[in-house]
């Protein structure tokens, strides 16, 4: 089983703080790295899919970077807002045809 680790498990920040969290994965046979945002009582929604070493993606105040050689990705949120409160999941697969394996997620709480 491919091991996808996310840290921290949970994070509490104040509105306006910038924050980041980590997804670690085996670098061998890497194909793609996914980030999903999962709000309570809703379904997970895709944020980014990254495939190349050094990839950087941005959507509004949220951005992500990818290092496939060392097997990690960072997700950054600039100026956190209460609506950013959610669990952020990363996932990867073994090869192009492999099913996605998800990490346990980082639960972010942003206090007003």
Partner 1 sequence: NAGVTQTPKFQVLKTGQSMTLQCAQDMNHEYMSWYRQDPGMGLRLIHYSVGAGITDQGEVPNGYNVSRSTTEDFPLRLLSAAPSQTSVYFCASSYSTVTAKNIQYFGAGTRLSVL
Q: How far is the CB of 95 from partner 1 (least distance, A)?
A: 7
CA distance 68 to 39: 28
- Residue 103 touches partner 1, criterion: CB under 8 A: yes
Instruction: Specify the 3-state DSSP secondary structure of 83.
Output: helix
CA distance 109 to 40: 11
Q: How far is the CB of 17 from partner 1 (least distance, A)?
A: 26
Tokens of 40: 């309570």
CA distance 16 to 94: 37
- Residue 97 touches partner 1, criterion: CB under 8 A: yes
According to DSSP, the β-strands at 10-14 and 106-111 are parallel
Nearer residue to partner 1 within complex by CB, 77 or 88: 88
Q: How far is the CB of 70 from partner 1 (least distance, A)?
A: 19
Per-residue mark of binding to partner 1, 25-64 (x: CB under 8 A): ------xx-x-x-----xxxxx--x-x-------------
Which residues sit opposite 59 in a β-bridge?
A: 62
Residues that bind partner 1 (CB under 8 A): 1, 4, 31-32, 34, 36, 42-46, 49, 51, 89, 91-93, 95-105
């Amino acid at each position: 089983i491919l091991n996808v680790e996310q840290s921290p498990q949970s994070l509490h920040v104040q509105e306006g703080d910038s924050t980041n969290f980590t997804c670690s994965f085996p670098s061998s046979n890497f194909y793609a790295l996914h980030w999903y945002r999962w709000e309570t009582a809703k379904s997970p929604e895709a944020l980014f899919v990254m495939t190349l070493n050094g990839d950087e993606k941005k959507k509004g105040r949220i951005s992500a970077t990818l290092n496939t050689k060392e097997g990690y990705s960072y997700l950054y949120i600039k100026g956190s807002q209460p609506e950013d409160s959610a669990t952020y999941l990363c996932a990867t697969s073994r090869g192009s045809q492999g099913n996605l394996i998800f990490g346990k997620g980082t639960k972010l709480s942003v206090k007003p």
